[in-house]
Amino acid sequence: MTTQLQVAKPQVLPEPAKKVEVARIVEPPKAQAPARGKERSPQKGSKLKIWLCAAAIAVGCIAAYFIWNSLQPPNLPNGFACSNGRIEATEIDVATKFGERIKDELVDEGDYVTAGQELAHMNTQVLEAELSEARAKLGVANSAVDTAKSTLAQRESEKSAAEATVAQREADLNRAIQDYRRAQKLVGTRAMSEEDYDARKATYFGAKGGLEIAKANVAGADAAISTAQALIIASKANVESTQATIERIEADIKDSTLRAPRDCRVQYRVAQPGEVLSGGGKVMNLVDLRDVYMTFFLPTDWAGLVKQGAEVRLVLDAAPQLVIPAKVTFVADVAQFTPKTVETSEERQKLTFRVKAHIAPELLKKYVRDVKTGLPGMAYVQLDPKAPWPPNLEVRLPQ
């Protein structure tokens, strides 16, 4: 057993490890030389790239600074204030008066329209049917008035006849009274028989009753006349009511033709032909180019010096070569935080006042087709009326 163990010891495998170590040692050093040379060249290239990137960044920063500096408003002299804003205009929504389907639209977005110009038509078939019905009712109401008038004339004739009957009955009564009085005297002297006396007495009471009946007929005729007159008044009221209904339907038909309320530009077609809208549904959105202004915000120190009607100069980003005159027409009496779109986040912590500067309508009328709303720009306000405007803010309008 001992000899077997001694023979087994040489089977441990140290030799492969030795071979590996020998292989590593015997590798020629010449093969490593090219590798060292390749490692040096990328280092030089990366350093060059870093320097180029740094130079490009520096040039970009310098260019950005000059661009930013060129876009900043020039320093203003004392007596002036400035702020940025946007050109706005009064918007008008053309809407339906009642629910109906849009028949057609006669203008498109961007078109200029004048006051009273037709923009669109609504379907009026239902209104036209109602108009025909109302006109038919008007004819019936007019006929009722004529009938009531004829009835009144008849009742007046009946009253005249009743009054004539009353006069006749009064005459009969007066004669019967006289005969009755004579009979009373004659019967006392026995110059008249009892039978004749009773006859004249009956005639007297009969005439008296006939007169009362005649007077009752006159009162009945008066009542009939009053009824006929009331019928005429009711018939005329029905005529007026029907006529008012006709006028209302005609007004609705007229309003179904949508017209421009003033000289405007079509900004949006909110709905299209064939769509059914409810009452007050918007069909188009118009912009009144005679009521154009810029809204901007000023801090408390400046806003307190702005006067109503102060001179303003507007310079738009899209046309910096132009200087447009305007006047302050509104200064808010309540301070608010500056909107995010106006100033930086630090300045939003300050309270500001909203100001509106309108451009003169005469000037807008001259350049109406060149007016564009939504354009950003700068507003320069003259706080001191005696302060002269700088040369760069003198009025310059398009030729």
pLDDT score of 339:
57
Separation CA 183–CA 368 (nearest Å): 111
How many C-beta atoms lie closer than 10 Å to residue 85's C-beta? 22
How many C-beta atoms lie closer than 10 Å to residue 381's C-beta? 25
Separation CA 370–CA 58 (nearest Å): 42
Radius of gyration of the chain (CA): 54
Question: Any residues with CB less than 8 A from the CB of 81 and at least 6 apart, and which?
Answer: 298, 302, 305, 306, 380, 381, 383
325 pLDDT band, cuts 50/70/90, is: very high
> Which residues share a beta bridge with 113?
264
Of all helices (H) and strands (E), which one includes residue 105?
strand 100-105
Residue 11 has pLDDT above 80, yes or no: no
Q: What is the percent of the chain where pLDDT is above 70?
A: 81
Record the tokens describing residue 212, joined without a space: 């009362």
Give the lowest-confidence range in 34-43, 240-249, 309-318: 34-43
pLDDT score of 68:
53
DSSP 370: G
DSSP string, 186-231: HHHTT-S-HHHHHHHHHHHHHHHHHHHHHHHHHHHHHHHHHHHHHH
Q: What is the mean pLDDT of residues 360-374?
A: 82
Residues 110-120: tens digit of each pLDDT: 899 999 999 99
Residue 297 has pLDDT above 80, yes or no: yes
Residue 121 has pLDDT above 60, yes or no: yes
At residue 375, the 3 state secondary structure works out as coil
Distances (CA, A) of 99 to 121, 261, 279, 387, 393: 13, 20, 4, 57, 52
343 pLDDT band, cuts 50/70/90, is: very low
At residue 157, the 3 state secondary structure works out as helix
Do 79 and 387 meet the contact criterion of CB atoms below 8 Å apart? Answer: yes
Residue 392 has pLDDT above 60, yes or no: yes
Record the tokens describing residue 122, joined without a space: 């609504």
Look at residues 257, 235, 254 and name the one whose alpha carbon lies nearest to residue 131: 254
The pTM (predicted TM-score) of the whole model is 0.58
199 pLDDT band, cuts 50/70/90, is: confident
Alpha helices in 102-193 (DSSP H): 125-188
Of all helices (H) and strands (E), which one includes residue 358?
strand 351-358
Residues 123-181: tens digit of each pLDDT: 999 999 999 999 999 999 999 999 989 988 888 888 888 888 888 888 888 888 887 78
Angle among Cα 197, 198, 201 to the nearest 5 degrees reads 85
Residue 2 has pLDDT above 70, yes or no: no
Residues 219-257: tens digit of each pLDDT: 888 888 888 889 999 999 999 999 999 999 999 999 999
Residue 40 has pLDDT above 70, yes or no: no
The strand pair at 100-105 and 80-95 is best described as unpaired
pLDDT score of 65:
63
309 φ, ψ (degrees, to nearest 5): 90, 5
Separation CA 172–CA 159 (nearest Å): 20
Distances (CA, A) of 167 to 174, 189, 302: 11, 34, 99
Residue 198 has pLDDT above 70, yes or no: yes
pLDDT score of 38:
45
The more confident residue out of 149 and 31 is 149
The strand pair at 257-259 and 112-113 is best described as unpaired
Q: What is the percent of the chain where pLDDT is above 90?
A: 40
Q: What is the mean pLDDT of residues 181-187?
A: 78
| Distance from the Cα of residue 322 to its chain's centroid | 34
Compute the mean pLDDT over every residue in the chain, rounded to the nearest whole number: 81
pLDDT score of 15:
43
The more confident residue out of 342 and 240 is 240
Q: What is the mean pLDDT of residues 48-61?
A: 77
Angle between helices 194-255 and 125-188 (to 10 degrees): 170
76 pLDDT band, cuts 50/70/90, is: confident
Give the lowest-confidence range in 16-25, 304-313, 324-333: 16-25
The more confident residue out of 40 and 61 is 61
74 pLDDT band, cuts 50/70/90, is: low
Record the tokens describing residue 293, joined without a space: 């202004």
Residue 36 has pLDDT above 50, yes or no: no
Q: Which residues of 208-246 are buried (b: 16+ CB within 10 A; e: fewer)?
A: eebbeebbebbeebbebbeebbebbeebbebbeebbebb
